[in-house]
Amino acid sequence: MNIKTVGVIGAGAMGSGIAQLFAQNGYTVLIQDIQQDFIDRGLGFIEKNLTKLVSKEKISPEGKDEITARLKGTLDLQDFQEADFVVEAAIEDIKIKQDIFKKLDSITDPGVVLASNTSSLPITEIAAVTNRPDKVAGMHFFNPAPIMKLVEVIKGLKTSQETAEAVKALAEDLKKVPVLVKKDEAGFIVNRLMIPQLMEAIKLYDEGIASREDIDKAIKFGLNHPMGPFELMDLTGIDIAYFVNEVFKSDLPREMKHTTPYSLRTMIRAGRLGRKTKAGWYDY
């Protein structure tokens, strides 16, 4: 792929991080969302991150200005005519993603690869609404995207090997470590392993077996993970863990299904979604 301009859909936690990452690596980036204040908030996150990098002397003030100049917010998907590659990071809803991909299919050049950052939805189902399912792939970044090294590259049923290789090469160009997920079964690699652990952690807490603090300590000091399961959910969004588990309940074979733990449902009802709402399993 000869990529100069990248289109990013969604200026939320992931979209803004992905946009920052591409801009830091020299790409021109268009970032689209449905409301101007969402775009402003996303560009605000990026500004804050870049300012931190300047104060840590990781980038120069001039470097920051150059990165910022490469980023452009837009409300109009039609601007993606200019994009050589698109990564979608809108909310985790199949209907919304299919609607976006249908539009992208008619707006972008037919040779352009369209990727989704979905955590749990089938790439095959997203690709099916386009006339280029061979050029649709998953490009699953981890939060925060500018920092976390892994990128899962996911093949849908019709994704060509050429597309998968091109997305892997792009991830490497962003100085990431790509892994290939050959089939788009729910959860790919990381969430397939992580979600059951998060659900079990909540059940341990619900059953009164240990406190959240001690469960976090056990995983940090017993398995050497940098964060415990409750701290991790607060960082990545309790709603995301909830939704991914709901997808697992409908998509995975019976022996792999996890019922939704009581206190997870309660957190969702209370709107305590983690750091982004300043309250989750812990207060911020």
Ligand X SMILES: NC(=O)c1ccc[n+]([C@@H]2O[C@H](COP(=O)([O-])OP(=O)(O)OC[C@H]3O[C@@H](n4cnc5c(N)ncnc54)[C@H](O)[C@@H]3O)[C@@H](O)[C@H]2O)c1
20-44 burial code (b ≥16 CB/10 A, e <16): bbbbbbebbbbbbbeeeebbeebbe
Catalytic residue status for 152: yes
Q: How far is the CB of 239 from ligand X (least distance, A)?
A: 8
Of 16, 49, 116, 119, the catalytic one is: 119
Determine the residue type at 154: I
Q: Is residue 29 a contact partner of residue 19, using CB atoms and an 8 Å limit?
A: yes
Using alpha carbons, select from 107, 122, 117 the residue that is nearest to residue 176.
117
- Is the CB of 43 or the CB of 59 nearer to ligand X? 43
Cα pseudo-dihedral 275, 122, 129, 96, rounded to 10: -20
Q: How far is the CB of 191 from ligand X (least distance, A)?
A: 9
Q: How far is the CB of 168 from ligand X (least distance, A)?
A: 17
Using alpha carbons, select from 105, 173, 103 the residue that is nearest to residue 134.
105
- Is the CB of 96 or the CB of 128 nearer to ligand X? 96
Residue indicated by tokens 């804050």: 48
Of 16, 191, 231, 245, the catalytic one is: 191
The two tokens of residue 256 are 């792999």
- Is the CB of 210 or the CB of 279 nearer to ligand X? 279
- Is the CB of 237 or the CB of 261 nearer to ligand X? 237
Q: How far is the CB of 197 from ligand X (least distance, A)?
A: 15
Catalytic residue status for 47: no
Catalytic residue status for 25: no
Of 88, 92, 152, 231, the catalytic one is: 152
- Is the CB of 112 or the CB of 233 nearer to ligand X? 233
Residues that bind ligand X (CB under 6 A): 9-15, 32-34, 38, 89-92, 96, 100, 117-119, 140-143, 236-237, 240
The two tokens of residue 272 are 């305590």
Q: How far is the CB of 34 from ligand X (least distance, A)?
A: 5
| DSSP summary character for residue 279 | B
Q: Is residue 105 a contact partner of residue 114, using CB atoms and an 8 Å limit?
A: yes
Active site residues: 119, 140, 152, 191
